[in-house]
Amino acid sequence: MEAPQRTQVAIIGGGVAGLMLSQLLHVEGIDCVILERQTRVYTEGRIRAGVLEYGTVNLLRRVGVSERMDRLGLRHEGFALMDDGEKTRIPLHDLVNTDVMVYGQTEITIDLMDACAERGIPLIFEAKEVALHDFDSAAPYVTYIKDGVPQRLDCDVIAGCDGAHGVCRATMPDAAAHAVEKVYPFGWLGILSDVPPMDHELIYSNHERGFALASQRSLTRSRYYIQCDVTEKIEDWSDERIWDELEIRLGDTTEHRITRGPSLEKSIAPLRSYVCEKMQHGRLFLAGDASHIVPPTGAKGLNLAASDVYYLADALIAHYKQGNEAGLKGYTDRALNRIWKAERFSWSMTQLTHRFPNMTLFDRKMQKADLSYIRGSVAAQTAIAENYVGLPY
């Protein structure tokens, strides 16, 4: 395919944010081109999120990219918090009449990439050295290298969907001055394996050896995490060592037996909370991890990317169809309102379930009191439930 020379919206980054935005624009007849640095195989191979808020599910259905999710995804009506082996179920459906969908980010990426191909949306892989130009003007453009050949893409708007280490926020004037960050003193070691999940719902466990999470991708594929020191190296963690630690922290019992198996993937990710409160400059707009990061404890990362691009698409549609600029002018404030609530929930779930180095006896007593209150309070459980399923857009 000849490299396009012009489009309405140039989307930088072919992750969930960029791919979802492309579909939201396409169904409204707005042209876009996605420039992705990596190969399709690399992008598809990233193992990340697993839980979809109902808002994200609805967006995929709105753009007609939900057939495989509706067929293969698992509706979950609750999840469990466990503290030193004592479980408290949060009955999402009973409390807020809403469920979450367990369907891997990998699958969503594949579905959205296939939709781009089927709908003729230019998704250019291995777009190297992407650079942004004149986004302060009404005629921004992007340059990049494809197969060694310099390319130029003229556009009306640039959507920076290039994640935490992309070029867009790095190029945005004084973005760093608007950054707010908290770094956690631990990471998550994740393992993916084709073994049946230990329970029908997710379990978030606070154990004296550290946090653990039992998650899943299907009835035959499990995803587990353990809190680990940030200095840990994945090569020091054999599969057996990981399974041993998971059995200790998740309380391997006859009722909930962990099935062991070879890892399909295992990796360690650091945890941080981060928000760049500057999400736009001229015709450049940031969405998803390009603008914010959450600790995965609240299952919000992917879902925040979805609500960002919902707001951005809404604003672009009003711009192109009614000449209404209010949405674009108000994009940052509208997105930040939801972003900060998700940051708070993700931070609070991390505080509740992890053992922090140097935590005092008082800190631990506060965790136990918090979990005891949640165990006995419908109001407390409802507050957790409405955040977990996703606050309204």
153 class by beta-carbon count within 10 Å (0-12 exposed, 13-18 middle, 19+ buried) = buried
- As a whole number of angstroms, the distance between CA 64 and CA 58 comes to 10
| Residue 76 annotated to the active site | yes
Among 65, 115, 153, 161, binds ligand FAS (CB under 6 A): 161
Name every residue whose Cβ is closer than 8 Å to that of residue 6 and which is 6 or more positions away in sequence.
Answer: 153, 154, 155
Query: Could you tell me if 135 and 158 are in contact, meaning their C-beta atoms sit under 8 angstroms apart?
Result: yes
Stretch of 148-156, 252-260, 292-300, 313-321 lying at the interface with ligand PHB (CB under 6 A): 292-300
CB closer to ligand FAS out of 111 and 162: 162
CB closer to ligand FAS out of 16 and 371: 16
Is residue 302 close enough to count as binding ligand FAS by CB under 6 A?
A: yes
Is residue 38 close enough to count as binding ligand FAS by CB under 6 A?
A: yes
Is residue 160 close enough to count as binding ligand FAS by CB under 6 A?
A: no
Among 9, 17, 95, 315, binds ligand FAS (CB under 6 A): 17
Is residue 162 close enough to count as binding ligand FAS by CB under 6 A?
A: yes
Is residue 187 close enough to count as binding ligand PHB by CB under 6 A?
A: no
Among 222, 297, 307, 350, binds ligand PHB (CB under 6 A): 297
C-alpha closest to that of 161 among 78, 284, 63, 56: 284
- As a whole number of angstroms, the distance between CA 350 and CA 354 comes to 6
Name every residue whose Cβ is closer than 8 Å to that of residue 383 and which is 6 or more positions away in sequence.
Answer: none
Residue tagged 């165990």 (tokens): 375
Query: Could you tell me if 98 and 389 are in contact, meaning their C-beta atoms sit under 8 angstroms apart?
Result: yes
Query: Could you tell me if 150 and 195 are in contact, meaning their C-beta atoms sit under 8 angstroms apart?
Result: no
The item of ligand PHB, ligand FAS, none sharing an interface with residue 297, based on CB under 5 to 8 Å by kind, is ligand PHB
Catalytic annotation, pick one of 292, 296, 331, 354:
296
Is residue 223 close enough to count as binding ligand PHB by CB under 6 A?
A: yes
| Residue 26 annotated to the active site | no
Residue 199: CB atoms within 10 A of its CB come to 17
Name every residue whose Cβ is closer than 8 Å to that of residue 238 and which is 6 or more positions away in sequence.
Answer: none
Among 13, 14, 15, 50, binds ligand PHB (CB under 6 A): 50
The item of ligand PHB, ligand FAS, none sharing an interface with residue 36, based on CB under 5 to 8 Å by kind, is ligand FAS
Residue tagged 């072919």 (tokens): 14
Task: State the DSSP string of 279-323.
Answer: -EETTEEE-GGGTEE--GGGS-HHHHHHHHHHHHHHHHHHHHHH-
Catalytic annotation, pick one of 76, 207, 281, 354:
76
Is residue 296 close enough to count as binding ligand PHB by CB under 6 A?
A: yes
Binders of ligand FAS among 67-106, rule CB under 6 A?
Answer: 105
Is residue 258 close enough to count as binding ligand FAS by CB under 6 A?
A: no
Among 32, 51, 101, 271, binds ligand PHB (CB under 6 A): 51
| Residue 178 annotated to the active site | no
Residue tagged 């000449």 (tokens): 323
Among 109, 215, 303, 332, binds ligand PHB (CB under 6 A): 215
Question: What's the N-to-C CA distance of the chain in angstroms?
Answer: 37
236 class by beta-carbon count within 10 Å (0-12 exposed, 13-18 middle, 19+ buried) = exposed
| Residue 319 annotated to the active site | no
Per-residue binding letters, 269-298, with ligand FAS (x by CB under 6 A): x------------------xxx-----x--
| Residue 296 annotated to the active site | yes
Catalytic annotation, pick one of 281, 292, 300, 319:
300
Lookup: tokens for 72: 């293969």
- Binding region for ligand FAS (CB under 6 A): 12-18, 35-38, 43, 48-50, 105, 127, 130, 161-163, 166-167, 269, 288-290, 296, 299-302, 305
Q: Which residues bind ligand PHB (CB under 6 A)?
A: 49-51, 202, 215, 223, 296-297, 299
Active site residues: 76, 204, 296, 300, 388
